[in-house]
Amino acid sequence: MKNLIFMRLLSLFVFLCCSLGFSQDFDYTITDANMTVQVGADVCASVMEPGDLLGAFFTNPDGDLQNAGYLSFEGDQLAVAVWASESGLDNGFAPGDDIQWAMYDTSEQTTVLLDSEMSSTPPFSSSFVANGFGQVLSLAVAASGGCDDDDASMTPMDCATAVAVFGCDGTWNGMTVSDGCPVTCDACGGDSGPVLGCTNEDADNYNPSATEDDGTCVISGCMCDIAYNYNSSATEDDGTCLVLSGGCGDATALNYSGDDCTNAAFVANDCEFEAPEPGPMEYTVTDANMTVQVGADVVTINNEAPPVGSLLGAYYTNDNGELLNAGYLPWTGDQLAVAVWASESGLDNGFAPGEAITWVLQIGDDLFVADDVIMNTTPPFSETFVANGFGQILSAEFSGEFTADTPGCTDDTACNYDDSATDDDGSCTFAAENFDCDGNCTVDVDCNGECGGDAVVDNCGTCDNDASNDCTQDCAGEWGGDAVVDNCGTCDNDASNDCTQDCAGEWG
């Protein structure tokens, strides 16, 4: 009993000392070997806040706790490197040492000892193994003076086994079993309170000493509910899920089976993805094609015939996962024979042999991928692409909202402009030059009554557009007159009195 009291006092002393320490208590030496210990984010979060430190401590030759590795908790799981002692230096853990965990509370600037539960299921070890692996299943702030079983005092057994073998009055490792296992032996005295822990015997971390379940039970198993080996009791997926048919493990798929199935093995992954948007109705004429016959009444959109002028095109998927056109024809209301073009060697500019055809209908600027297409599979027809082969659409159903083009004149300068028209049908009419759409002359009318004509009335009253025949003014000032000035300077229209020239050459 004295030994137990001494051990509890020592634990309390160490706890109080460590609680007064600062972060420099977490200094450690990198040595020639370590053990990697995994600590889940939920385990850390049960006692720590982001920014706190979690460290592994060993007892050095002076009886003091000394750090041998730590990490800062930032909300994610930790993989703490716990360093071994180098030969003769006592600067780390010795093989088989128990790990004392402690946290540094950054908000309170105190170091707090923690009780822990370590997994002993291979490949994990509950004590230190150089180059080995460990896993912390739970952490709790260490009780400074409570009544607890000391399983380590019963090494290589635990308290439950020691009590079963020796009884509480038996002796083991130089001490009475009840002294090392007061809870199991009901030797705490008074009301020691409940012993918290996992009470589920099927759990990985079952604690036979626990008297009250604290909700920490961990049951490993398959958590994917579509797997044949689904375990509805599992709290932690162990990666063993096997889905025999259907299902999808790709989080980007439309039918993703959920996060619980992310690590499952799918025998026949059946993922469905959002179809890519089809590109424009533009294609390359290559060195081969397939002719696909389309009947006049086999294509519908919203259960009605497509508007005349719509485009029906065949699309292939290129190496980048894009839907590209490889041939189309305008919808006329009559049957069509669409040339669907093959890819040329190494160019990825058309269909590959055996590739499925995606049919697209364009109405205005809207593109619609077919909801359902049935192709004739009876020879000589093929439902997939065959260069120089033949295909036939038996039915193609499209759906979606669209605004059908309204045919009419779309030129706002035309006499019959239709502002509701969206598709010019070539019907535009225009006013004749110099007239408006109502036939009214919009320019000047000439002397002949011609709209926009260039005829004018000359000084003699003649109306024409020939300036060369316009009348002139005679010497008497009369327009169109015939008076002339003779050689003697007389102006009249009587030639009989014109002066003459004498023999000396003088006029008059």
The predicted model gives 406-428 an average pLDDT of: 90
In whole angstroms, give the CA distance from residue 293 to residue 381: 10
Position 420 confidence tier, pLDDT thresholds 50, 70, 90 = confident
Least confident of 173-177, 244-248, 302-306, 397-401: 173-177
Judged by average pLDDT, the poorest of 292-301, 421-430, 463-472 is 463-472
For the record, the structure tokens of 154 come out as: 């019963």
Is the pLDDT reported for residue 185 higher than 90? no
- Three-class SS state of 431: coil
Q: E strand or H helix at 345, and its extent?
A: none
Q: What angle do CA 63, 3, 125 make, to 5 degrees?
A: 60
What separation, in Å, do the N-terminal and C-terminal C-alpha atoms of the chain show?
179
DSSP 355-368: PBPEEEEEETTEEE
Give the position of tokens 């035309």: 414
Residue scoring higher pLDDT (214 or 456): 456
In this prediction, residue 193 carries a pLDDT of 54
- Please identify which residue in the block is written with the tokens 């009318």: 445
Q: Which amino acid appears at position 112 of this protein?
A: V
- Tell me the pLDDT of the chain averaged across its residues: 87
Residue 214: per-residue pLDDT:
81
In which residue are the tokens 């991928």 written? 369
Q: What is the pLDDT of residue 481?
A: 74
Question: Cβ distance 103 to 112 under 8 Å?
Answer: yes
Alpha carbon distance 205, 303 (integer Å)? 63
Residue 85's pLDDT is 95
Residue in 68, 88, 91 with CA at minimum distance from that of residue 80: 68
- Whether residue 379 has a cis bond before it, omega within 30° of 0: no
pLDDT greater than 90 at residue 186:
no
d(CA 210, CA 223): 26
pLDDT attached to residue 364: 87
pLDDT in tens, 124-162: 999 999 999 999 999 998 764 456 788 888 889 889 898
Interval 17-29 mean pLDDT: 57
E strand segments, 268-387: 289-294, 299-301, 311-317, 323-330, 336-341, 358-363, 366-369, 372-375
Comparing 36-50, 81-95, 323-337, 462-476, the range with the smallest average pLDDT is: 462-476
Asked whether the predicted pLDDT for residue 74 surpasses 90, the reply is: yes
The more confident residue out of 22 and 127 is 127
Instruction: Give the pLDDT confidence of 477-498 residue by residue, as tens digits.
Output: 788 777 787 788 778 877 777 7
Q: Which amino acid, one-letter code, is at 394? A: L
Residue with tokens 């007239």: 435
**CA 345, 346, 349, 353 torsion-angle sign:** positive
DSSP 439-498: S-B-S-B-TTS-BT---EE-TTS-EES-GGG---B-TTS-BT---EE-TTS-EES-GGG-
pLDDT at 147: 67
> On the CB side of 131, how many CA atoms lie within 13 Å of its CA?
2
Q: What is the pLDDT of residue 149?
A: 81
86: which DSSP letter?
Answer: P
Per-residue confidence (pLDDT) for residue 244, from 0 to 100: 94
pLDDT of residue 11 exceeding 80, the answer is: no
Nearest partner of 306 among 233, 250, 359, judged by Cα? 359
If we measure between CA atoms, which residue out of 122, 127, 146, 124 comes closest to residue 135?
124
- β-pairing, 242-243 vs 265-266, is parallel
Name the token pair of 368: 């619609």
Q: What is the pLDDT of residue 7?
A: 38
Going along the chain from its start, the domains and CATH numbers come out as 2-145 (no CATH), 289-398 (2.60.40)
What is the token pair recorded at 436? 């408006």
Q: Which of 133, 50, 138 is nearest to 101 (CA)?
A: 138
Residue type, 431: A
Structure tokens given for 280? 């424009």
pLDDT at 499: 80
Tell me the pLDDT tens digit for each residue of 206-264: 887 777 888 889 999 999 999 999 999 999 999 999 999 999 999 989 999 999 999 99
Q: Is the pLDDT reported for residue 91 higher than 50?
A: yes
DSSP bridge partners of 499: none
Residue carrying the six token digits 């493990």: 249
Higher per-residue pLDDT: 174 or 188: 174
Instruction: Tell me the pTM.
Output: 0.39
pLDDT of residue 220: 94
| 3-class SS of residue 28 | coil
Taking alpha carbons only, the member of 283, 241, 233 closest to residue 258 is 241
